[in-house]
A and B are shown apart, each in its own frame.
Chain A
């Protein structure tokens, strides 16, 4: 019964970026938001919907990865969160498909 010492799983003791790094992420997020809003005024043609979805996903991932520190934390936290997210997307995509939402 030896008590071996090892690093606690996932505790990297890294709290992510520096404050300047967080400001940079916020500036990028603000720029993407400005681009999103511009789609309301400028005609993006066939790229309108894909561009909006891509920008939304990029903002989502940036906040989760950097502000919520998932990128720097233990993988189990990512698993727990993304499991819920993927389950939600799957369940409600199936729900909407059943009601022919995507065929409209």
Chain B
């Protein structure tokens, strides 16, 4: 009866005892990420359906700047590396390196978002407003949603750095870094799909 409930913290798993022996926070995060697949799946398939509907506006081939977006993609990909190094440092209870890698990850994320703002501005000046065409609306909605996710991730990373600078990184807090890491990597894998399907595959 009570035996299962004793799993978890009693074994030094870094989370309170649970009936499954697994961290409820981690379970919740994976359920959340699974549901996010449905959100982005909807946005991506809507874009795929409408990408050829350009009306009088510019076409994707006319406005996409592949070299620029490739650099942005590389920056986001490398932020996944710095994030996993932050998780590794947090597990090793190395406060200094944890803060360093979290800060670098946030900076790389901010670079990506800055690139996206620049890209949106350039597209707008080239005549691609949100309501210009179905292609424009679905493109801005999809990439905008992704950009908001990255921005939320940056806010979480910087909040963590602020909290850890004051309190240090005890063992239980390493799980918090890992959860934000999962979110961050998810944002990265969504961009892996967007970069291929939206930017590299022509209409």
Contact = CB atoms under 8 A, between A and B. Distances in A.
A36 B80 contact: no
Contact of B22 (A1, A8, A30): A8
A96 B67 CA distance: 30
A30 to B, nearest CB: 7
Interface secondary structure of A, over-half rule: helix
Given A8-B11, A63-B192, A77 B80 contact: no
B196 to A, nearest CB: 4
A9 B4 CA distance: 10
B170 to A, nearest CB: 16
Contacts of B13: 8, 11, 13
A47 interface: no
Contacts of B85: 19, 22
Contacts of A37: 66-67, 70, 200
Contacts of B21: 7-11
Interface secondary structure of B, over-half rule: helix
Contacts of B49: 96, 99, 101
A103 to B, nearest CB: 13
A88 to B, nearest CB: 3
Contact of A67 (B3, B42, B80, B197): B80
B200 A96 contact: no
A87 B38 CA distance: 7
A83 B11 CA distance: 29
Contact of A40 (B83, B185, B200): B200
Interface in A1-50: 1-4, 6-11, 13, 15-16, 19, 22-23, 25-26, 29-30, 33, 36-37, 39-40, 49
B192 to A, nearest CB: 5
Given A13-B12, A22-B81, A76-B27, 4 more contacts: A36-B200, A55-B196, A81-B37, A96-B48
Interface of B: 1-3, 6-8, 11-13, 20-22, 26-27, 30-31, 33-38, 40-42, 44-45, 48-49, 52, 66-67, 70, 73-74, 77-78, 80-81, 83-85, 87-88, 91, 181-182, 185-186, 188-189, 192-193, 195-197, 200-201
Q: Which 5 pairs between the two chains have the least Cβ-Cβ distance?
A: A84-B34, A8-B21, A88-B41, A92-B45, A26-B81
19 contacts: A9-B7, A11-B22, A15-B87, A26-B77, A26-B81, A30-B77, A33-B70, A56-B193, A56-B196, A56-B197, A63-B188, A64-B185, A68-B186, A74-B22, A83-B34, A87-B37, A88-B41, A91-B41, A96-B45
